[in-house]
Amino acid sequence: MISEDPTLERHFKGHKDVVSCADFSPNNKQLATGSCDKNLMIWNLTPKARAFRFVGHTDIITGVHFSPSGSLVASSSRDQTVRLWTPSIKGESTVFKAHTASVRSVQFSSDGQRLVTGSDDKSVKVWGVERKKFLYSLNGHTNWVRCARFSPDGRLVASCGDDRTVRLWDTSSRQCINIFTDYGGSATFVDFNSSGTCIASSGADNTLKIWDIRTNKLIQHYRVHSAGVNCFSFHPSGNYLISGSSDSTMKILDLLEGRLIYTLHGHKGPVLAVVFSRDGGLFASGGADSQVLMWKTNFDSLNYRDLLSRHSKRVTPDPLPHLMDIYPRSPHRHNAQNGTIEVSGHTIPMCFTNSTDFTLGGRYSVNAVV
């Protein structure tokens, strides 16, 4: 094994059910994960720091995202709400409600001023963070919306869902400006690359597709998994992508070479969450086995390019296979049961105009879990 291979660094145990989503804080000091156990966990990555378990959602948590400043965490849930949390022992939360069915995803805009959500009510909604209000809906999907994401400049939104389409929206005109329809099943996840020139989408038909939105052309198409692809994350360089699948593996693609380079094993059952840290040095994964794994990337070093260069000098014309399958050795286990602080939010209803209903958290109890 060469030193540029990804390595499993830590194993976080604390969720009692399927881990459905994950995100790193911008400063890499925290990892947030959501689960079918209805709890949001904030794992503090400094040694011996306690984890926070945020209690408040009344159903499965489906999405989680840190604000650009790291001062807020947004979570979406099957309870039809979005919550904004303070990722500290205080754990204050604000509840947003305008969807009429499960909320499947949530994301902050890059300036932190807006949230975008996708829902089983077939709508994409945009919210104002500072004034805590619903702003507008993007309507056009004909079935559940699985995922919605802002472009890096905030001018566009990409969304996808069970109507087998990926849609591109202009946030100024609030109109759908393009529809990509090449799916044999539900489109499960969508996101922009860091430059905003491309979107990738994954499908229940085992595929990953990358589109250039300047030309509206499909530029890469991968079928590397043997079951549906549930999630993926672009490396911040834009050169790599990691995907998680119901085949229980994660795959790392080199997008410049158009090649699968690693298959990662570590989860028992479907992988439902994968995410790179903001600097690309780490990535995390979560799945049906209730595990949260944190990995060191390693392969984004320049040495990897040298390795490819050496391989390309071989005389054989055969295409390169991917470098290797990684079966992790026993990692350091971080067991939340030994040091979790549980933060429960009690909400006080408040009424607002514009048919916007959300509740603002008021009183909290903090209990150490032994």
User: Per residue in 27-84, pLDDT tens?
Assistant: 999 999 999 999 999 999 988 888 999 999 999 999 999 999 999 999 999 999 999 9
Task: Please state, in angstroms and as integers, the Cα–Cα distance from residue 174 to each residue in 155, 179, 305, 346, 356, following that order.
Answer: 10, 14, 42, 35, 19
Q: What is the mean pLDDT of residues 174-200?
A: 93
What pLDDT, on the 0 to 100 scale, is given for residue 347?
37
Query: Does 297 have pLDDT greater than 90?
Result: yes
Asked which of 42-56, 84-98, 280-294, 333-347 is least confident by mean pLDDT, the reply is 333-347
Length reported for the chain: 370
In whole angstroms, what separates CA 57 from the centre of its chain? 18
Q: What is the pLDDT of residue 320?
A: 44
Taking alpha carbons only, the member of 59, 49, 47, 54 closest to residue 102 is 59
Model pLDDT, residue 365: 25
What pLDDT score does 91 carry? 82
Beta bridge partners of 30: 44
Collapsed DSSP state (helix, strand, coil) of residue 330: coil
pLDDT for 260 equals 95
Establish if 334 belongs to a structural domain.
Answer: no
User: What does the block give as tokens for 84?
Assistant: 């904004």
The reported pLDDT for the residue numbered 115 is 98
Over range 338-362, report the average pLDDT.
39
Least confident of 108-117, 194-203, 361-370: 361-370
Instruction: Check pLDDT > 90 for residue 230.
Output: yes
Say what the pLDDT of residue 261 is: 94
Q: Please report whether residue 249 resides in a domain.
A: yes
Question: Considering the domain boundaries, does residue 278 fall inside one?
Answer: yes
Provide the pLDDT for residue 339. Answer: 59
Instruction: Say if 357 falls within a structural domain.
Output: no
**Partners of 276 in the β-ladder:** 283
What is the per-residue pLDDT for 340? Answer: 65
Alpha carbon distance 105, 130 (integer Å): 20
Lowest mean pLDDT of 217-221, 242-246, 274-278, 306-310, name the range: 306-310
Lowest mean pLDDT among 133-147, 150-164, 307-321: 307-321
- The pLDDT value recorded for residue 143 is 97
Spatial distance between the Cα atoms of 156 and 135, rounded to a whole number of angstroms? 15
Residues 20 and 42: beta-carbon distance below 8 Å: no
pLDDT, tens only, 85-120: 999 888 889 999 999 999 999 999 999 999 999 999
Q: Is residue 329 part of a domain?
A: no
Query: Does residue 369 carry a pLDDT above 90?
Result: no
- For residue 212, what are the domain limits? 7-300
CA dist 281 and 295 (Å) reads: 9
Question: How many degrees, rounded to 5, is the angle at CA 99 between CA 54 and CA 364?
Answer: 25
Considering the domain boundaries, does residue 323 fall inside one? no
Q: Which residue has the higher pLDDT, 313 or 102?
A: 102
Structure tokens at 326: 């990684």
CATH of the domain at 117: 2.130.10.10
* Mean confidence (pLDDT) of the chain: 85
Which of 188 and 341 is assigned the larger pLDDT? 188
Identify the helix (H) or strand (E) that includes residue 309: helix 302-312
At 326, is the pLDDT very low, low, confident or very high (cuts 50, 70, 90)? confident
Task: Give how many domains the chain has, as a whole number.
Answer: 1
Residues in CB range of 183: below 8 A, 6 or more apart = 164, 165, 166, 201, 203, 205, 207
**What tokens appear for 188 in the block?**
């499960």
What are the E-state strand segments in 173-291? 175-180, 187-192, 198-203, 208-212, 217-222, 229-234, 240-245, 250-254, 259-264, 271-276, 282-287
Query: Residue 345: pLDDT band by 50, 70, 90 thresholds?
Result: low
- Whole-number percent of the chain with pLDDT over 90: 75
Residue 339 lies in a domain: no
